[in-house]
Structure 1
């Protein structure tokens, strides 16, 4: 019995050491994300590394002894500080944000409906019940097509990411008249963008939908961001709205650079949208923990409310934002 307890103690000490070393190493590597896109990949998972560092420190405090205990606790605390420091600005901004109490004049929805959506009817019913004025959709093909077909009939104005000649799976649906529209779909230098300039009593404004690749391998997503920022420069940004699945979290250096590059205010602060439900055949998410669906808006728009929708057959949750135009 004593041997079993001794072996269990050794296992727990080894586990604590592995957890704090992994969390601390990734925390230090993440700091290098300010200079390296490859190192920045680790920062997208900062909440996970923070939990691992905290768990390792707590386990070490329980099972380790003397100097070993203090060394592991200190390393775990440093890991928590490293990852927490990256996340803190976003979390503080979300807590201190002041919403506008005035009446909403525009309701927009961002939703990656997922090409493997297992309940497109429920998703369609929920979207129609929310009744957004402008709907941004990604992955609107495959199993999600039963959602896209009715939306094309119900919304008077529609554009996909290659304009009107060849549809693809990034869409904008609008109640407001599209006085200009277009899109880009580039497979060689991956980029999926749909855009439209909408009529409005206070003056026309441009809306843009996009879908970025994953941050791995590093470099391609950052290239998309630079290319889209250059494209946005050709429009008036005062009342512009940009939304999409950016596959990038707000505690990455990549998204921080994009926030500055776009010259717009990101209205989705610390709002996890992925993963949701059974996002692979083997894994099911109890709750989303990665904010990767974002919406940006120009200074003429005031944020009235921001909310995350329920699980609707997609591996992403929808995001609904109501705005008021000054």
Structure 2
């Protein structure tokens, strides 16, 4: 029995060392993302590296001794501090008092990647309609999710989608008439999405919805981000609203640059939206861990409420944002 305990202790100490090394290396690589888009790809999963570092630190504290304990815990601390520097400010930035809604000047939006392999489109459509939102922006409205589009099109006669390019299933549905609108693909841009200027009783404003590619490998997604900022630059920033599945987390350097380039305030703060439920044919998730669905709005808008939707038939959770001006 003592031999088994000794071997178990060695195994756990070795595990602590391995986890701490991984956390330290990944944490430093995340900081290097400030200079390299390739390294920044690792930053999107910073919560994972943080959890790895904390696990290594806990195991070292319990099973290691003396100099070994200090060395391993120091390695883990490098990873924890590196990732914490990126994550904690984002979490704290969401701690603010909500604004009071102004009658007639409040807009409720739903941003939702409904997933082209949606396994319960009826429940998804029913939930979206139950929100009684003023504007609904969805991505991946094709495939098994197309019944969601049909249901929304009946409820929202003012709507548009991408055009002239296969695979672009981003949609905008509005309670108010569309004064002007255009799909990014009409200009042959390597960017999925569209914009629409809505004829609101309190004055028109423009909304845009987009769907970025994955951040791996680094480079193409950053190019899409720059193109989005350039494409939307002619619109008045005070009232502009931009939403989408950006496939980019708020602790990444790429999204930080996008925040600045758009010149808008991101209203979604550390609100995890992916993965949800069965996010592939072979994997499922008990809860989302990555905030990749975002809503931006100009300074004319004040945030009343930001909520996350329930688990439905998509691999994403919806984001529901109420703004007032």
Cα 1:93–1:119, aligned 2, differ >3 Å: closer, same or farther?
same
TM superposition shift of 1:76: 1.1
Could you tell me which residue of structure 2 aligns to residue 57 of structure 1? 57
Could you tell me which residue of structure 2 aligns to residue 282 of structure 1? 282
Partner SS for 2:287: coil
CA contact (8 A) 2:23 2:78 kept: no
Cα 1:129–1:284, aligned 2, differ >3 Å: closer, same or farther?
same
TM superposition shift of 1:153: 2.0
Q: What does the per-residue CA deviation read over 1:195-235, in whole Å, with 9 as the maximum and x for residues that have no partner?
A: 10111222211100000001001101000000000001121
TM superposition shift of 1:11: 1.1
Cα 1:15–1:157, aligned 2, differ >3 Å: closer, same or farther?
same
| Aligned Cα root-mean-square deviation (Å) | 1.7
Alignment coverage as a number of residue pairs: 323
Instruction: Give yes or no for the alignment of 1:239 onto 2:239.
Output: yes
> Which is further off, 108-117 or 59-68?
59-68
TM superposition shift of 1:188: 8.8
**Which consecutive residues of structure 2, in runs of 5 or more, have no partner in the other structure?**
none
In 2, Cα distance between equivalents of 1:167 and 1:73: 48
CA contact (8 A) 1:161 1:167 kept: no
TM superposition shift of 1:300: 1.1
In 2, Cα distance between equivalents of 1:279 and 1:234: 37
> Which is further off, 195-204 or 50-59?
195-204
Cα 1:275–1:154, aligned 2, differ >3 Å: closer, same or farther?
same
Instruction: Give yes or no for the alignment of 1:99 onto 2:126.
Output: no
TM superposition shift of 1:79: 1.3
Normalised to the residue count of structure 2, the TM-score between the two structures is 0.96
Q: How does 1:131-146 map to 2 (within 5 A)?
A: 131-146=132-147
In 2, Cα distance between equivalents of 1:167 and 1:65: 57
Normalised to the residue count of structure 1, the TM-score between the two structures is 0.95
Q: What does the per-residue CA deviation read over 1:63-92, in whole Å, with 9 as the maximum and x for residues that have no partner?
A: 112211110111112211111111111111
In 2, Cα distance between equivalents of 1:243 and 1:85: 26
CA contact (8 A) 2:101 2:323 kept: no
Could you tell me which residue of structure 2 aligns to residue 147 of structure 1? 148
